[in-house]
Chain A
Amino acid sequence: MPATSTGDRVRGVVGFVGELLITAGVVVGLFAVYTLFWTGVETANEQEALEEQFSSVEASPEATDEPAADDPEPEPLSGDAYARLTIPRLGDDWRWIVVQGVELETLTRGPGHYPETVDPGEVGNFAVAGHRATYGEPFANLDRVQVGDEVRVERAGVLHTYVVTESFITDPSDTDVLLPVPGQPGVEADEAVLTLTTCHPRWSSSERLIVHATLAESAPVEEVA
């Protein structure tokens, strides 16, 4: 190699910086693909496995048996398939397996049941959180759900139909929406309600979108799909 001139050195540095910039551009582009597309693929795969897990648990005889008084139903493990959620307003193929738990990691698999809240159909508040953007974005269009819409939850062989009573935007710290009687601390529950939470606006963490519904009917599941 001939002795490098100042010009060569400058060209070398400029070329290296250029390579870095191009690399950064490609990485940012890949990150966009990951966020907008790949997280959805991963969640769809998780949901497929969860659907199988849920179906096999539901099909096993003990799932529908009344738990004996001295043998309470075992607590589901975090991340396990917990219930099947359908909201007709969001489309005929809108069907999600709810998992147990609301940790960040858990919610990448699907909507999650707040473990401190009651099971579906029970008196009190059954609450579920879900992503509104990325990871399959189950609650992307939760803002389209209107008062009077049905929210159906299937668990342990029973289909619980809730009817939406209100939908509003609140503060991220507003944990009162998870109370047995939402928004009324210290009041004892006498009816079964459902709460859905997600972020608002979409792609933001500044507020939360809340949907409340009241139990209208609980009936045994006729056919297991």
Chain B
Amino acid sequence: MYPWIWQHLPGPTAVKVVLAAVLVGLVVLVLFTVVFPWAVTWLPGQEVVVDGAG
């Protein structure tokens, strides 16, 4: 998977390194802004109110 991505990045090595860093950054951004905020609601200890739903 990663070798395949690396092969398909255009340009010389220096450009590839920059592009790869940008891709990693995008993935981390999506994780922190979309995936993790959703996932954290499934952790125990997120329910702090008393209600009938328990």
Contact = CB atoms under 8 A, between A and B. Distances in A.
A170 B50 contact: yes
A114 interface: yes
A12 B48 CA distance: 48
Contacts, number: 81
B48 A129 contact: yes
Contacts of B44: 203-206
Interface string B6-41: 000000000000000000000010011000100111
A208 interface: yes
Interface majority SS (helix, strand, loop, mixed), chain B = loop
A94 interface: no
A171 B50 CA distance: 8
A131 B53 CA distance: 18
Interface residues of A, number: 39
B49 A173 contact: no
A35 interface: yes
A202 B46 CA distance: 10
Interface in A50-92: none
Nearest to A209: B48
Most buried by A among B28, B39, B41, B43: B43
Interface in A89-114: 102, 104, 107, 114
Interface of B: 1-2, 28, 31-32, 36, 39-41, 43-54
